[in-house]
Amino acid sequence: MTDATAEIGDTARAAPEDTLIGCPICDAVYRLSPETAAEATRCARCGYRLTLGRSTAITRVVAIAATNVALMMIVIFLPFLDLQAGTFESRASVLEVVVGFSSGIMVPLAFAVIAFILVLPILRFLFLIYALGPILAGAGNLPNAKGALRWAFKLKPWAMAEIFMIGVAVALIKLADLASVATGPAFWVFGLVVLLNAYQDSFMCRHTLWTALQDNKR
């Protein structure tokens, strides 16, 4: 990790292939040589990670997004948890979490929960594939690829799959004396999605992804 100290002011020897990069957090501007831009750099003023230095970012991001979309389809349709209390048995897929909520005033909340744990995570993965997939395939950018990548970044705080997993853990403990609970296959697949998602975040270098999208032929 190098501090992006190559400030614009002190570089008299600015080369034409240098890139200007601005810090979205504190408004500092830097001139980075192609070599520096390929490394991990931090804003010298506020510490924001300007570049992550991931040369394989596009490949990894698209591969993980595609894997996660496939895994999420499994999550939706397979049982998530299996609950037994006396003669009663209840199996719930993630989608059925909605059913528990969906009466009266709880309907909007049901939609919100489904959006946070399923719709927004899946949408993010699809946006990433849509925007960056053509680059890997050697094709031109699809219409509104910019919008797709922009929204993939914007939706990040609203995709809450990992928070849901902690919620599941807490719910299991609360249920312990009421019923016996077994985890279904979807539970483990969802856990895998959460891990892959965290791994993908380490490759979401804004500079690399936006430069690649810009340089890709239309």
Partner 1 sequence: MMTARGRGQVVCRSCGEVEPMGRARCPRCGEYLDSRDETSIEKVWAWLLVGLIAYIPANLYPMLLTTQVFRTEEQTIVGGVVELIHYGSYAVAGIVFFASVVIPVGKFIVIGYLAVLMSRPRHTSDPHRLLVLLEVVEFIGRWSMIDVFVVAILSALVQFDVLATINPGIAAVCFALSVIFTMLAAQSFDSRLIWDRMKDDTQGAPGHV
Q: Which stretch binds partner 1 (CB under 8 A): 52-60, 66-74, 94-102, 186-194?
A: 94-102
Residue 85 binds to partner 1 (criterion: CB under 8 A): yes
> In terms of DSSP H, where are the helices of 78-160?
96-101, 107-114, 120-137, 145-154
What is the distance between the alpha carbons of residues 39 and 49, in angstroms, rounded to a whole number?
11
Which residues are CB-contacts of 141 (< 8 A; sequence separation ≥ 6)?
131, 134, 135, 213, 216, 217, 218
Backbone angles phi, psi at 91, to 5 degrees: -115, 135
Residue 45 binds to Zn ion (criterion: CB under 5 A): yes
Q: With CB cut-offs between 5 and 8 Å by kind, which of partner 1, Zn ion, none does residue 188 bind?
A: none
Instruction: Candidates 116, 183, 192, 204: give the one binding partner 1 (CB under 8 A).
Output: 116
Q: Do 125 and 68 contact (CB within 8 A), yes or no?
A: yes
Q: 51 forms bridges with which residues in the sheet?
A: 41
- CA torsion 192-195-196-197 (nearest 10°) is 120
Residue 147 binds to partner 1 (criterion: CB under 8 A): yes
Q: Do 195 and 113 contact (CB within 8 A), yes or no?
A: no
What is the distance between the alpha carbons of residues 84 and 61, in angstroms, rounded to a whole number?
40
Q: Which stretch binds Zn ion (CB under 5 A): 37-45, 120-128, 158-166, 169-177?
A: 37-45
Q: Which stretch binds partner 1 (CB under 8 A): 65-73, 79-87, 121-129, 183-191?
A: 79-87
Q: How many residues bind partner 1 (CB under 8 A)?
A: 70
Residue 2 binds to partner 1 (criterion: CB under 8 A): no
Name the site residues for Zn ion (rule: CB under 5 A): 23, 25-26, 28, 43, 45-46, 48
Name the site residues for partner 1 (rule: CB under 8 A): 7-9, 20-29, 44-47, 50, 81, 83, 85-86, 88, 90, 92, 96-101, 105-106, 108-110, 112-113, 116-117, 146-147, 149-150, 153-154, 157-158, 160, 163-164, 166-171, 173-179, 181, 206-207, 210, 213-214
